[in-house]
Structure 1
Amino acid sequence: MSGLIDALGDPDTSIREKRAAYSLRRIGDPRAAPRLIEMLGDREDRLRNAAASALVDLDLTEHADAAVTGFIGVLEDRVMRNYDNRGIVQNAVVALGRLRDPRAVPVLLEALSSYHKHVPLEAAAALGKIGDPKAVPHLARTLRYRSGRSSSRSAMAAALGEIGDPSAVTHLLDTLNQERDSAVRAESATALGRLGDVSVIPHQLAALG
């Protein structure tokens, strides 16, 4: 194990990537976390991606602060948001959701508008896990975007329900009453149920019945 961790500092890119990062991902030992977090700032894109892929599967409890900072840095780097880097961006978003640190909210809100197919879904899920009410207006705005993907808009509704802030009720009711997409409408009804406002029950029944 110590040999693999030491290999993360090898000057040979191929050794760091193939022999270390991916091997450590399979092993899943959290002792590798500090070195892998450092690799998130590596110049080599494939090494950053290997590190992010390995970290997303590790228990980062003891290294949460450094991991949050590292993953936020990934999402703040404009180069990392292009199409070729969609893998590391998605891994960063997923990891930040698992870490549930409110410091990640600004970069996750920006990720809602990503052109990568799965990134907005993962960003919405991450915001739902963090539960910061400041995300509600942004999620609601994306939910209202009628020409957006059904899966993405359903994810926004689910996140609003998970956050559980009462300010989401109006947005979800509007979607429930005006939306034509049955999947989005169903997820909005479920989200309203999570909010626990009994006054919306007639609207739920009318929209789904």
Structure 2
Amino acid sequence: MSKETIETLVSELVHEEDWRRMRATAACVAGGPRAVHALIEALRSGSPELKREAAAMLARLKDPQAGVALVGLLQDEDDAVRKAGAAALEQMAGVLDMETAAALVALLPQMPDGDMRRLVTHLIGAIPTAVAPLCDMLKHPDPEAQVTAATMLDQLLDPRSVDAFIDAMGQPAVRDIAVGTLKKLQAIRERIDAAFNELRNVEGASEREEARMATVIDLLGIGRPSVEILIEYLEDEDWLVREAAADLLGKIADVRAVEPLMKRLARDKDTGVKELAIKALGLIGDARPTPLYLEAIPIRPLRVYAMEALAKIKDVEVLRPHKDLFDRLRTDRDGLVAYNAGLIADKLEALSAVQMTGQEGNPSP
């Protein structure tokens, strides 16, 4: 067994020998918080090549502790390092914390017009936790910073910014933007409320299902600005409205919906809502619902959807403890269950092969 420290192994992510790079990769995947800390240090003090590899590895591990350090890469002198940092932040958008979002928002006024400013703007729009720092930035003493924040919030059209825009109405630099954004947000709210009110009034099983699908088609074009409102409607008393909200959230595939959809899957008394929740979670591809998917496999109306969702999880590593289960399900009588179990088992076998190759490499100089 190797006696190298995790710091040494991290440095070997860019080693010229394949087996050393693979061993380093395996060590990072299995290394937990110590590996994350070593990778963050590599972002700060490593060579450009190591910074790029460390950023890619942190994106794979998806530990939010790395967020601020990755934001720091956006100011690196090496263009490839900046792009690696941006790519990692985009891949981790759903798990990045408020501190990371605040660091990214604080960076925006320092960026001159050009590709990097557009990139930072794109990243802020992709990170759900960026809304609060942008709202705080509306209070900045510099009118240019206020306008920057207001413009970003106008693009995001997130209902969480309503109070901040109301407070900003007295600031001359952003008053017009605030008025326009509040009108747009009100129009979005009214359209969604009206659509769901109409849906509640439909009677008859077949008519209601048809109406649900029509409502989803009608509202889907709103996209991300509807997410926070749709999350509210997941708690509606009408099961058909909850189904429509879950369906829309899955098709929009915003990570803000993961935990509310998990709650529906775990607690809702309506099987149809559970089905739409599990389908929606599968489309998002987040690993957090894994235990709920596993619990749903024995439940006949949900088992196919559970297997499909498991097969779509992007972080395959979280499925490794359940490999025996997937191996058994490869011969399940339900063809779709067997097919998806085979997909998962094949991915796990491929991952194990890569890691074993790294661990079995000859450690001699």
Same fold (TM over 0.5): yes
Which residue, 292, 309, 329 being the options, matches 1:138? 292
Alpha-carbon distance in 2 for matches of 1:92, 1:152: 19
- The 1:52/1:178 distance shift into structure 2, 3 A limit, reads closer
For residue 76 of structure 1, what is the aligned residue in structure 2? 235
* Paired residue secondary structure (1:76): coil
* Paired residue secondary structure (1:132): coil
2:275 equivalent to 1:121: yes
2:264 equivalent to 1:105: no
Alpha-carbon distance in 2 for matches of 1:160, 1:172: 12
- Does the CA-based 8 Å contact 2:326-2:342 persist in structure 1? no
* Paired residue secondary structure (1:182): coil
- Does the CA-based 8 Å contact 1:128-1:159 persist in structure 2? yes
- Report Cα offsets for 1:121-168 as digits up to 9, x if no partner: 32222112112221222222323xx3x11x411211110111132212
- The 1:131/1:40 distance shift into structure 2, 3 A limit, reads same
2:316 equivalent to 1:171: no
- Does the CA-based 8 Å contact 1:41-1:70 persist in structure 2? no
* Paired residue secondary structure (1:134): coil
Please give the residue correspondences for 1:1-209 in structure 2 after superposition, counting only pairs within 5 Å.
35-39=190-194, 45-46=200-201, 54-58=214-218, 60-61=220-221, 63-77=222-236, 80=237, 85-113=238-266, 114-143=268-297, 146=298, 148-149=299-300, 151-165=301-315, 166-171=317-322, 173-177=324-328, 181-183=332-334, 184-193=337-346, 195=347, 197-198=349-350
Alpha-carbon distance in 1 for matches of 2:242, 2:324: 32
How far does residue 118 in structure 1 lie from its aligned partner after superposition? Answer: 2.9
Alpha-carbon distance in 1 for matches of 2:351, 2:306: 22
* Paired residue secondary structure (2:223): helix
- Does the CA-based 8 Å contact 1:154-1:188 persist in structure 2? no
Alpha-carbon distance in 2 for matches of 1:73, 1:87: 14
Alpha-carbon distance in 2 for matches of 1:163, 1:69: 23
Number of residues of Structure 1 aligned to a counterpart in Structure 2: 157
Q: How does the TM-score come out when normalised to structure 2? A: 0.36
Higher mean displacement: 68-77 or 165-174? 165-174
- The 1:185/1:52 distance shift into structure 2, 3 A limit, reads closer
Identify unmatched segments of 5+ residues in structure 2.
Answer: 1-186, 203-207, 354-365
CA RMSD of aligned residues (A): 3.5
Identify unmatched segments of 5+ residues in structure 1.
Answer: 1-31, 202-209
- The 1:44/1:158 distance shift into structure 2, 3 A limit, reads closer
Alpha-carbon distance in 2 for matches of 1:52, 1:66: 20
How far does residue 91 in structure 1 lie from its aligned partner after superposition? Answer: 1.2
Structure of higher CA gyration radius: 2
* Paired residue secondary structure (2:217): coil
- The 1:60/1:162 distance shift into structure 2, 3 A limit, reads same
Q: How does the TM-score come out when normalised to structure 1? A: 0.59
Matched-pair identity in %: 24
- The 1:180/1:112 distance shift into structure 2, 3 A limit, reads farther
Alpha-carbon distance in 2 for matches of 1:41, 1:91: 9
Alpha-carbon distance in 2 for matches of 1:57, 1:138: 28
